[in-house]
Structure 1
Amino acid sequence: MKNIFLTTSVSALVAGLAATAGASAQTLDYTMMSELFGEPVTAGATGAPQRASDVPATMIIITQDDIQRFPEYDIPGILRHYAGIDYNRYGYGDGQLSIRGPATPNNPRLLVLVNGRDVYLDSYGYTAWSTLPVQLEEIQQIEVVKGAQSALYGFNAVSGVVNIITRNPQLEEYATSRVNVAENGGYDAAFVAAYQFNERAGVRVSYSHGEMPEFGPFAQSGRAALLAPFDFTRETGAVEGRFTLTDDISLTAEATFSNVDQLELTSGYSSARGVYDLQSFKGQLDWDSDFGFISAQAYRNETNVDYTYGSLRYELTTYRVQDLFKIGTNDTVRVGVEYREASTGSFPLPGNGDFGYESTAFSAMWNHKFSNTLDVTLAGRLDRVDWSRDGQPDPTLYPFSQAEYSVTYEEFSYNAAVVWHPEFGGTFRFMAGRGVQAPTSWDIGFTLALNVGGNNFVVSGNPGMVPSIVDSYEIAYDRSLTETINMRAAIFRQDTADVRGLFGLLPDLLPPDAPGPVSLFDNRGDTSTSGVEIAFEGDPEGAWDWGVNYTYQVTEDDLEGVWGLNYLHDFEAMTPAHTVNAHLGWTGERFSADVYANYLSDTASPYQTNLGSLALQEIDSALALSVRAAYRVNDHVSASFNVQNASFGDGELTNVNTETESRAWFGLSASF
Structure 2
Amino acid sequence: ASDAPVSMEIISADDIRRTGATNIPDILQQVVGMDVQRWGVGAADVAVRGYNAPYSPRLLVLVNGRQVYLDHYGMTSWNVIPVELSEIRQIEVVKGPNTALFGFNAVGGVVNIITYNPLYDDADNVTARIGTQGHREVSGVTTFKLGEKVGVRLSAGGYNADEFDTDRSAAERARWIDPSRRSAAANVLAQVTPDSQLGVELTKSDVEQSEVIPVALATTPAEYDTWSGKATYTVNTGLGLVEGTVYRNQANVKLSGLFELDNTVTVAKVQDLFKVGTDHSFRVSGEFRRNELGIEGQRAEVSYDVYSVGGMWDWAVTEKLSLVNAVRLDHLVLGRTGPFATAAAPYTNDDYDRTVTEPSLNSGVVFKATDKDTFRVTFARGVQVPSLLEYGLQQSRVVYGNPDISPTIVTNYELGYERAVAEINGSVKTSVYYQTNDEVKARLRAGFANGALYQTFDNVGDSSAIGFEASAKGKLDANWGWNVGYAFESVKDDLVAGAPLNFEDATPRHKVNAGLGYTRGAWEANVNGTYVSSTDMLRNLNNGLGVRSYDVPSYALVSARVGYELNPGTVVALSAFDLLQDEQRLNAGPAEERRVYLSLSSSF
TM-score norm. by structure 1 comes to 0.88
CA contact (8 A) 1:124 1:441 kept: yes
Gapped runs of 5+ residues in structure 2?
Answer: none
Q: Where does residue 656 of structure 1 map in the other structure? A: 588
Asked if residue 359 in structure 1 is aligned to residue 299 in structure 2, the reply is no
Distance, in Å, in 2 between the alignment partners of 1:58 and 1:275 is 35
Distance, in Å, in 2 between the alignment partners of 1:95 and 1:539 is 32
Q: Which moved more, 1:318-327 or 1:91-100?
A: 91-100
Q: 1:553 aligns with which of 484, 489, 495?
A: 489
Q: Where does residue 566 of structure 2 map in the other structure? A: 633
Q: Where does residue 477 of structure 2 map in the other structure? A: 541
Asked if residue 371 in structure 1 is aligned to residue 318 in structure 2, the reply is yes
Give the AA of the match of 1:581. Answer: N
Q: Where does residue 494 of structure 1 map in the other structure? A: 435
Q: Which moved more, 1:170-179 or 1:278-287?
A: 170-179
Deviation at 1:397, TM superposition (A): 1.8
Deviation at 1:217, TM superposition (A): 4.7
Q: Which moved more, 1:65-74 or 1:238-247?
A: 65-74
CA contact (8 A) 1:398 1:515 kept: no
3-state DSSP class of the match of 1:464? coil
CA contact (8 A) 2:302 2:393 kept: no
- Residue by residue over 1:583-621, the C-alpha shift from the partner in whole angstroms, topping out at 9 and shown as x without a partner, is 011001100111110100001111122313321110001
Distance, in Å, in 2 between the alignment partners of 1:388 and 1:217 is 44
Over the aligned positions, Cα root-mean-square deviation in angstroms equals 1.3
Counterparts in 2 of 1:388 and 1:617: CA distance versus 1, 3 Å? same
CA contact (8 A) 1:150 1:157 kept: yes
Q: Where does residue 288 of structure 2 map in the other structure? A: 339
Q: Where does residue 222 of structure 2 map in the other structure? A: 274
Deviation at 1:654, TM superposition (A): 1.2
Say how many residue pairs are matched: 600
Gapped runs of 5+ residues in structure 1?
Answer: 1-51, 451-457
Distance, in Å, in 1 between the alignment partners of 2:47 and 2:395 is 28
Deviation at 1:261, TM superposition (A): 0.2
Q: 2:546 aligns with which of 613, 623, 645?
A: 613
Deviation at 1:510, TM superposition (A): 1.8
Deviation at 1:545, TM superposition (A): 0.5
Counterparts in 2 of 1:394 and 1:641: CA distance versus 1, 3 Å? closer
Distance, in Å, in 1 between the alignment partners of 2:385 and 2:123 is 41
Deviation at 1:84, TM superposition (A): 1.0
CA contact (8 A) 1:648 1:660 kept: no
Deviation at 1:103, TM superposition (A): 2.1
Give the AA of the match of 2:593. Answer: E
Distance, in Å, in 2 between the alignment partners of 1:663 and 1:624 is 12
Deviation at 1:169, TM superposition (A): 1.4
Matches within 5 A, 1:54-453: 54-219=3-168, 221-228=169-176, 230-268=177-215, 269-308=217-256, 309-345=258-294, 347=295, 350-351=297-298, 353-394=300-341, 396-423=343-370, 425-450=372-397
TM-score norm. by structure 2 comes to 0.97
CA contact (8 A) 2:372 2:421 kept: no
Deviation at 1:570, TM superposition (A): 0.4
Greater share of strand: 2
Give the AA of the match of 1:598. Answer: T
CA contact (8 A) 2:37 2:587 kept: yes
Deviation at 1:222, TM superposition (A): 4.1
Deviation at 1:432, TM superposition (A): 0.6
Deviation at 1:145, TM superposition (A): 0.3
Q: Which moved more, 1:375-384 or 1:63-72?
A: 63-72
Deviation at 1:394, TM superposition (A): 4.5
Distance, in Å, in 2 between the alignment partners of 1:100 and 1:258 is 29
Deviation at 1:352, TM superposition (A): 5.4
Deviation at 1:393, TM superposition (A): 1.6
Q: Among the aligned pairs, what percent are the same residue?
A: 34
CA contact (8 A) 2:134 2:161 kept: yes
Distance, in Å, in 1 between the alignment partners of 2:276 and 2:367 is 22
3-state DSSP class of the match of 1:466? coil
Q: Which moved more, 1:332-341 or 1:479-488?
A: 479-488
CA contact (8 A) 1:396 1:515 kept: no
Distance, in Å, in 2 between the alignment partners of 1:138 and 1:379 is 31
Deviation >4 Å, runs of 4+? none
Give the AA of the match of 2:603. Answer: S
3-state DSSP class of the match of 1:443? helix
CA contact (8 A) 2:211 2:222 kept: yes
3-state DSSP class of the match of 2:146? strand
Deviation at 1:92, TM superposition (A): 1.1
Deviation at 1:355, TM superposition (A): 1.4
3-state DSSP class of the match of 2:389? helix
